[in-house]
Amino acid sequence: MPTVINRLGDTTRGISTGFHMLDYICGGFGKGHLIIIAARPAIGKTSFACNIAANMARVGLVVPFFSIEMSKEEITERVMLSEAQVDKYAAMQSTKAMQSVMDVGDKIKDWKLFVDDRGSLSVGQVVSTAYKIKQLERKLDCVFIDYLQLMQMDKNENRNQAVGAMTRQLKQMAKEIKCPVVVLSQLNRAADGRRPAVSDLRDSGEIEQNADMVILLHRENPEDTQTLAIVGKNRHGKTGDIDFVWHPEYTRFMEPVMKNVNVPKGTFDR
């Protein structure tokens, strides 16, 4: 009973995402929770996940990042440019800009951000690797997987059944390793040109059913920088919209500067 009372009294008991308003809406990413981040192509779901993973690693958290689509080198480059807030082409042409990126590289060497870029990973391989990292580091804070539809599926099941089975297994994994598992997912084509809904998650309604939280990224115009992060489902807290500014030149989402807004910061587990 005391544990339950403490949980109810702590409205921000999850792992901080590093984004103030997202933490305020969702209470951080809860231990044992399955979080889905979804968007149509070219909106920036990988970058959004990289930004959150970097925010966590920057404060000393242990963060495995399973990248099925992009190589370890590509993910590392994104993180370095994003942290330095330097355009890739500027870094290639300017000694000063390149030095900024190199300085960031020296810092992130000490991060506990583990990028695994093996192609077509199965849930079993993710679980096995996550446990090895937990044993090595003596803790595990948040797991990222990019992305669901590229994971190795059971060939004896149709796609909807296979994706549903994988999300059930990933939810079970989150509970067993006692940390948030963040999985990226595609949205159906029906979401093109309009505000997406949780029902637009591609391939299986079970994604929505098994997820504790679903965050949908949306831009009215793909060329715009104004981006909405829509918390469309939150089994353990609030839903709502959070504004972000997208900086494609160094693949970073940033919260807009807000004036005369008083939002409690709260305390997050680390």
3-class state of residue 95 by DSSP? helix
Question: Could you list the residue range(s) of the whole structural domain that residue 216 is in?
Answer: 2-254
Strands 143-146 and 252-254, sheet pairing = unpaired
Q: Is 112 within 8 Å of 63 (Cβ atoms)?
A: yes
Nearest alpha carbon to residue 24 among 248, 228, 268: 268
**Model pLDDT, residue 258:** 64
d(CA 238, CA 28): 11
Inside any domain, residue 259 = no
Neighbours of 80 (CB within 10 A): 22
Domain count for the chain: 1
Q: Is 255 within 8 Å of 50 (Cβ atoms)?
A: no
**Model pLDDT, residue 264:** 46
**Model pLDDT, residue 134:** 95
270 Cβ neighbours under 8 A, 6+ residues apart: 15, 16, 59, 60, 61, 141
Inside any domain, residue 270 = no
Inside any domain, residue 262 = no
Q: Is 50 within 8 Å of 251 (Cβ atoms)?
A: yes
Inside any domain, residue 266 = no
Burial 195-219 (b: 16+ CB within 10 A, else e): ebbbebbbbbebbbebbbbbbbbbb
Inside any domain, residue 208 = yes
d(CA 206, CA 97): 46
Inside any domain, residue 220 = yes
**Tens digit of pLDDT at every position of the chain (270 positions):** 555 444 444 445 799 999 999 999 999 999 999 999 999 998 999 999 999 999 999 999 999 999 999 999 999 999 999 999 999 888 888 899 999 999 999 999 999 999 999 988 999 999 999 999 999 999 999 999 998 988 988 777 788 888 889 999 999 999 999 999 999 999 988 777 789 999 999 776 889 999 999 999 999 887 889 999 999 999 998 999 999 999 999 999 999 976 444 444 444 444
**Model pLDDT, residue 191:** 75
Nearest alpha carbon to residue 232 among 194, 205, 200: 200
**Model pLDDT, residue 217:** 97
**Model pLDDT, residue 155:** 76
Instruction: Give the predicted TM-score (pTM) of the model.
Output: 0.89
Q: Is 67 within 8 Å of 204 (Cβ atoms)?
A: no
CATH label of the domain that carries residue 90: 3.40.50.300
**Model pLDDT, residue 2:** 53
**Model pLDDT, residue 205:** 81
Inside any domain, residue 261 = no
Provide the 8-state DSSP code for 255.
P
* 147 upstream amide cis, omega within 30 of 0: yes
Inside any domain, residue 23 = yes
